[in-house]
Amino acid sequence: PVIVMFSDLVHTIGESAALGAAGVVLWVKKYTDGPLGPYVINVTSAAKLCSKALCKKNAKCVRKSLDSGTYLHLNPCFFNIRLNPSIRGPRFHVSGHLNNPDILDMKHKFTCQCYQGWMGIYCEMPQITDPRKV
């Protein structure tokens, strides 16, 4: 069996998310019950929360400094990821809340990369298209 180190997850999946990747493909389902599953849930949840808190859900969060080593991770003091013992529903359950110091930390380390149709520092403004060019 292949043993996946947590640092390997951070430097692959975590690095991809922090640089704004839309996703990663995982081919090995049996590893999701080990450290891989909770880590993917952690990074995915942190990316969604960053988008919501900083970018009005109209963008993805991307490192301000691409080589900073900053990652999108949930604060373990305020979040918990548990395996769902039921065969129904999602495999993992995330509980917790984003606090103000974590939001400020995200604002210092990440910027919003607006989705198509949005603009502004926090992607808060719809992009107006000139009807004459449509």
> Model confidence over 34-47: pLDDT tens digits?
778 899 899 999 99
pLDDT of residue 128: 86
Averaged over 92-120, what is the pLDDT?
96
Query: Which DSSP letter does residue 12 get?
Result: I
pLDDT of residue 17: 84
pLDDT bin (cut points 50, 70, 90) of residue 2 is low
In a domain, 31, yes or no: yes
Please enumerate in sequence order all residues whose Cβ is within 8 A of that of 15, keeping only pairs 6 or more positions apart, or say none: 71
Token pair 């969604």: residue? 48
In this predicted structure, the answer to whether residue 121 has a pLDDT above a threshold of 80 is: yes
The per-residue pLDDT of the chain, averaged, comes to 87
In this predicted structure, the answer to whether residue 1 has a pLDDT above a threshold of 50 is: no
In a domain, 1, yes or no: no
Q: How many separate domains does the chain show?
A: 1
Structure tokens at 110: 């990440």
Distance between CA atoms of residues 120 and 18, nearest Å = 20
Give the whole-number percent of the chain exceeding pLDDT 70: 87
In this predicted structure, the answer to whether residue 53 has a pLDDT above a threshold of 70 is: yes
pLDDT of residue 26: 62
pTM for this structure? 0.78
Determine the structural domain holding residue 55 and report its residue range: 6-133
Structure tokens at 115: 């989705």
Averaged over 96-103, what is the pLDDT?
97
Distance between CA atoms of residues 64 and 80, nearest Å = 27
